[in-house]
């Protein structure tokens, strides 16, 4: 929920309430599909169905099948017999993008240097700063990179290869594109060269 609360708990000025309602409904359906029943999410989803119908957000077919959907997500789900397959790792983020990653009420900012294996697993480097709100590119001018302290007591450049970082915009609203085509990466001349990813 650390990821999906970025949608469910977002300010209404940032995300429309109907998007939050659709997200809670989708979560309840997906959890049920994978053999999980979460009472809080199911309760939100049941309320969301009525609100979405009142606002005429979805189709007539959805309205007609609303009671069926309510019964399904309220029923005890069937436990999975095997682990589901993972989707591919193609990313829509590009080299020189600057992104923020929300964890709770904090925003961590990263610069995308490149990709491994043509658009898979972007290589990111974090800025050495944490924000209380989503920053703008102006907030990042001339900021230093966050290094990693090694056992020998030396801070080194820290770059990470992140598999699965792909959707822009992120459906969970956790990863936000701040801007694209930024030529100035975080300043890392104050730390020693890295020893790998």
Pair 67, 126 in one domain: no
Pair 14, 46 in one domain: yes
pLDDT in tens, 94-124: 889 999 999 989 999 999 998 766 556 788 9
Pair 110, 173 in one domain: yes
Is 113 inside any structural domain? yes
- Domain total in the chain: 2
- Sign of the torsion formed by the C-alpha atoms of 38, 6, 25 and 162: negative
Is 30 inside any structural domain? yes
Is 83 inside any structural domain? no
Pair 173, 112 in one domain: yes
Q: Give every CB contact of residue 196 below 8 A, 6+ residues apart in sequence.
A: none
Beta-strand ranges (E) seen in 48-192 are 98-103, 106-116, 120-131, 148-149, 155-156, 160-161, 175-179
Domain range enclosing 165: 98-179
Average pLDDT, the chain: 87
Pair 70, 121 in one domain: no
When comparing pLDDT for 67 and 117, which is higher?
67
Q: What is the pLDDT of residue 135?
A: 94
116 vs 44, 64, 95, 100, CA distance in Å? Answer: 39, 47, 11, 20
Contact 119, 91 (CB under 8 A): yes
Q: How far apart are CA 56 and CA 49, in angstroms?
A: 10
Beta-strand ranges (E) seen in 13-105 are 98-103
Q: What is the pLDDT of residue 92?
A: 76
pLDDT in tens, 37-56: 889 999 999 999 999 999 89
Is 27 inside any structural domain? yes
Residue pointed to by tokens 């193609």: 90
- Give the rounded percent of residues in the chain with a pLDDT score beyond 70: 91
Pair 69, 103 in one domain: no
Contact 118, 89 (CB under 8 A): no
Is 36 inside any structural domain? yes
Pair 67, 115 in one domain: no
3-state class (DSSP) for residue 59: coil
Is 151 inside any structural domain? yes
Q: How far apart are CA 49 and CA 68, in angstroms?
A: 11
Structure token pair of residue 14: 């940032």
**For 142-145, which contacts have Cβ atoms below 8 Å and span 24 or more sequence positions?**
142/187, 143/186, 143/187, 144/186, 144/187, 144/188, 144/190, 145/111, 145/185, 145/186, 145/187, 145/188, 145/191
């Amino acid at each position: 929920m650390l990821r999906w609360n970025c949608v469910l708990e977002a300010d209404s000025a940032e995300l429309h309430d109907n998007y939050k309602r659709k997200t809670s409904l989708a979560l309840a359906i997906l959890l049920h599909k994978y053999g999980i029943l979460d009472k809080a999410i199911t309760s939100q989803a049941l309320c969301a169905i009525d609100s979405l119908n009142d606002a005429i957000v979805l189709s007539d077919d959805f309205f007609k099948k609303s009671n069926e959907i309510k019964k399904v997500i309220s029923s005890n789900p069937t436990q999975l017999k095997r682990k589901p397959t993972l989707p591919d790792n193609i990313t829509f983020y590009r080299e020189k993008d600057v992104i923020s990653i929300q964890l709770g009420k904090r925003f961590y900012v990263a610069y995308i240097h490149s990709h491994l294996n043509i658009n898979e697993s972007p290589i990111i480097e974090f800025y050495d700063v944490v924000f209380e709100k989503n920053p703008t590119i102006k907030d990042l001018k001339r900021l230093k990179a966050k290094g990693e302290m090694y056992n020998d007591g030396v801070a080194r450049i820290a770059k990470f290869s992140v598999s699965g970082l792909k959707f822009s915009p992120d459906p969970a609203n956790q990863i936000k594109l701040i801007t694209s085509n930024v030529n100035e990466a975080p300043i890392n001349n104050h730390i020693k060269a890295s020893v790998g990813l």
